[in-house]
Copies of this chain bind each other. A is one copy, B any other.
């Protein structure tokens, strides 16, 4: 079945928000054997009608997101009803849900809120647990036009769309989609190797398998290798990847580096603390994004100021004046200080120059040191140069720190 996603919203085309719906829907429908063949973003307004018309010719299933809210630029419901030749009717149950939600939150109902209770005749209402605008499902051919695919109208805010998709859309899809094929997907995430080296190491042997689809994706500090095919072909591919890349593959189930590290620590009942200067809390943030991190993560010391390094981690001020805050020895002292203060099995530390200011000839913007202290072993320190924008610098530095810990946990 051909699936098309239409994302509406002038805010998308003006760059106010990122489109997270495409990735979310893609991941949710793959286990049903469905893939998105095409995605379109159009502004609020009549372009929605044109996108619906052209996509209806090509698609079996359309997901249309955005424009269901209360404000004047929200007109997806009206345009779709008009396109399909369906009348809008006031739905008492939807209205009751909107009113009860507003009462629960202490919001007053406005005229605009009430518009969200209009439903095209024959549509199935998809309840919204996290907002007032419900989603709508129109079954294929339910409308009096020539070809009409299955059409799902979904709210724009991700926190409304995502639970609605899982609780209401997936059950409908399971009814309308033929039983899935044996096709499966695996994603191998690889640290410490560039994209061409990964392909050179294993690409040709993978292509010899046949019947699989390969994709390489370079991300900050990692390469993701995606393989889609039948299970037996995937098993053969996995054997080639393990033999060719070894420990550079940090996950084969799509798990992130922080998930892998938290799992390794949990399995070994070991603990972690972090001392961050240039990454400013991002390393702790990545680790605490993993549900269950509290079992292994004890404390983070975001020591931005030199005085904080001294006071919170016991870094000797003479070290800082002799070598500078961005130095191998200060990274080491920070890791050792956090290790001792938090009484953790491992402590990671970062210190560097994120930029745009603060670089010198000797230590240009992008210079960074990462250290790992642990029980009964010498502290490891490594230097890197990541002369990138601030977010990429933080990504690459935390990736290097987590990879240093992972390698150490592997023994």
Do A299 and B304 touch across chains, with their CB atoms under 8 A apart?
yes
Question: In the bound complex, how far is the Cα of B38 from the Cα of A42, in angstroms?
Answer: 5
Given A73-B215, A194-B107, A195-B71, A283–B281 Cβ distance below 8 Å? yes
Question: In the bound complex, how far is the Cα of B114 from the Cα of A314, in angstroms?
Answer: 51
Q: Is A320 on the interface with B (CB-CB < 8 A)?
A: no
Do A14 and B30 touch across chains, with their CB atoms under 8 A apart?
yes
CB closest residue in chain B, given A24: B15
Instruction: Give which listed residue, B18, B285, B301, B394, contacts A280 with CB less than 8 A.
Output: B285
Q: Mark A282-311, 1 if CB is under 8 A from B, else 0.
A: 111101110111100111111111011001
Do B43 and A41 touch across chains, with their CB atoms under 8 A apart?
no
Chain B residues with Cβ under 8 A from A404's Cβ?
A: none
Do B42 and A187 touch across chains, with their CB atoms under 8 A apart?
no
Do A27 and B11 touch across chains, with their CB atoms under 8 A apart?
no
Question: In the bound complex, how far is the Cα of B113 from the Cα of A341, in angstroms?
Answer: 48
Do A40 and B38 touch across chains, with their CB atoms under 8 A apart?
yes
Do A47 and B42 touch across chains, with their CB atoms under 8 A apart?
no
- One complex includes copies of this chain to the number of 2
Interface residues of A in 300-350 (CB under 8 A from B): 300-305, 307-308, 311-312, 341-343
Do B38 and A38 touch across chains, with their CB atoms under 8 A apart?
no
Chain B residues with Cβ under 8 A from A153's Cβ?
A: none
Given A12-B22, A14-B215, A308–B298 Cβ distance below 8 Å? yes
Given A38-B40, A195-B70, A312–B299 Cβ distance below 8 Å? yes
Residues of A within 8 A of B (CB): 9-20, 22-27, 30, 35-44, 47, 69-73, 107-108, 110, 112-113, 130, 156-157, 159, 162, 185, 187, 194-197, 199-200, 203, 207, 213-220, 224, 226, 274, 276, 279-285, 287-289, 291-294, 297-305, 307-308, 311-312, 341-343, 355-358, 388-392, 394
Q: A71-B216, A280-B297 are in contact. List 4 more A-B contacts (CB 8 A).
A: A10-B213, A159-B388, A300-B302, A301-B302
